Amino acid sequence: MYEQIEITTALLAYWRHELFGPLNIIQGYSCLIIEELEEENRLLENNKFSKTLLEILKTGKDIQAIIKDTLELEIIEEQGHLHNIIELRNILEQQTVQKVDLIEERAQEILAINEAIFSPDIEKILKSASKLKVLLGEDLEWLQDYSSTAEAYQAQDHLRKKLDETFLDNRASLLDVEKSLNEIKSHLYTKEIRTEGLKILLVDNNRSNQELLYRQLDREKYSVSLAESGEEALRAIAKEDFDLILLDIVMPGLNGYQVLDRLKHSQWKHIPVIMISSLTEIESITKCIEMGAADYLPKPFNFTLLRAKIDACLENKKLRDQEKIYVSRLALANQEIAALNEQLAVENDRLSTELEITRQLQKFILPQDSDLRNIEGIDVAGFMEPAEEVGGDYYDVQPRNDSVHISIGDVTGHGLESGLLMIMVQTAMRTLIESELTDQKKLLNTLNHVIVDNARKLKSHRNLTLSLINYFNGKLSIAGQHEDVIIVRSDGRVESIDTTYLGFPIGLEKNIKEFIDQKQLNLSSGDIVALYTDGVIEAENDQGKPYGVQRLRETVCSNRSHSSQLIIEKVIEDVKSHIGNSQVLDDMTLLILKQK
């Protein structure tokens, strides 16, 4: 019994599919003519013509609703008419035949008006109405034979002889039945028609549907190529780039499901596909989406819905194309990051999120303790802890020739975007210094140009404060705007250097050369320089009180006899003691330099 129900379900779907074919032409050409009249402001001039067209359109929609309700599987099962298909045909014919006659009469009236320019389209409506009447009046002998067959296996054997194919037992897989029952249309010629705009491949073995859809797409200024089968579609895709594919499900040879499956396992899987079909079962729609279709458009076509679906798919493809361009430009701009990202991509399966990848990258590019210990003349140690998985703080220590180039910065905001900007700054800084650009004013101005350009490409509004410190043989040169630099002398005296007028935020304006200045000072043995970001001094306890610059000065001063690494440990321990159980809201970075 179960197999009998499954077969009946498939036949109902096929029958509905066949009836919707001519209805699609009737409604489609009615809409098309009305829209063309509206565009030419001729609706008022052709009042009777327009009213008659609107009546045809409404009648077509009424017939569609009757067919849908009469052949709706759930309703049929509910009423207990599942096996009485001949009775369903009689009900359907009684409810629709007068409406089809009305469409024919109205089409004849329009032809009599002698609107020559629209006569070919009205002829198509008239021809489709006649075809619909024939389909509604069929004796359905093959269905009648089946409905009188009691045993399910006999019914299935009867259909197999009729179809000469194996029927699939899943309700969603109706294509073999439909393909075999549907009259194989005479081969269409495949033509390629160029219009302005984005390129769409239309795949449908029904010439009337092809022409109707092409007319509508042509009016929207799309460039349209036509294919009559799945095989032709695949050949066309291999030869030419398309922005979108409109793909019919029911076709001889390769059906729509098979074409979709091949596309989604090929180099063309990025092309969005909208499936078009009279199959309206939720299983068929679900199957298309699960197989990778971008959307599903039922027949008869609603042109407003068609435009909306096409526009949405093309907009999504445009965004994906822009994303590819962005990734390509970023890779070219920074080969070091591109190479590292490629290496990280191999491990992508075991990395849970994009944030985790960037976090690992940030950790990798920080100065290593072993490198800092080998610097002559000064004892250097650094600490950075992001508030989230990815931080926006930055520091670097880069020995070059006899000098040491030290930098510390803070990108506005948190998270992935700030982290990416931080990585760009670190990579650009190292590249510029390696290329012997060590003049602080030129270095900051050049770096700013790079960041402004990259931020624009990323459509980012992030910027950063950044201080550069050049160390050479006990002498410091400071440039760039950031937090105050704390100097703790060996005898306990504490000094602060205000960097407000030594620079300008990086990434905010194109040219900042005139804002950059420098400050020089000398270090004696035991003198300490403390560099930090606002996450340290603004860390709040549960009463909302910040840690503060003064407490940082005191903590560094009281531990000035220790090594740089131990001073950092003491400061961070004190900061976390101050915070207690409060949430850390900002990245914390601390860099200690001590003259040997």
Which residue has 């003049």 as its token pair?
Answer: 439
Q: What is the pLDDT of residue 275?
A: 86
Q: Which range among 122-131, 161-170, 302-311, 473-482 has the greatest average pLDDT?
A: 473-482
Q: What is the pLDDT of residue 403?
A: 92
What is the tens place of the pLDDT at every residue in 353-411?
Answer: 556 666 666 667 788 888 888 898 999 999 998 877 666 788 999 998 889 999 999 98
pLDDT of residue 349: 55
- What crossing angle do the helices spanning 85-113 and 47-70 adopt, rounded to 10°? 170
The larger pLDDT score, comparing residue 92 to residue 594, is at 594
Task: List, in order of start, the domains of the chain with CATH numbers.
Answer: 2-182 (no CATH), 212-320 (3.40.50.2300), 356-595 (3.60.40.10)
Residue 168 has a pLDDT of 35
**Does the pLDDT at position 165 exceed 70?**
no
CB atoms within 10 A of CB 371: 12
Q: How far apart are CA 11 and CA 285, in angstroms?
A: 18
The pLDDT, as a whole number, for residue 212 is 82
What's the CA gap between 245 and 294, in Å, rounded?
10
In the predicted model, is pLDDT for residue 189 greater than 60? no
Amino acid code (one letter) for 34: I
- Kindly tell me if the per-residue pLDDT of 73 is higher than 60: no
Cα separation of 432 and 434, whole Å?
5
Strand 378-385 and strand 393-400: the pairing is: unpaired
pTM: 0.44
Residues 6+ apart with CB under 8 A from 66: 92, 95, 96, 99
pLDDT tens, 8-49? 666 666 677 778 878 888 888 888 887 777 766 665 555 777
Contacts of 357 (CB under 8 A, 6+ apart): 341, 344, 348, 351
Peptide bond preceding 300 in cis form (omega within 30 of 0) = yes
The candidate with the shortest Cα–Cα distance to 411, out of 384, 435, 437, is: 384
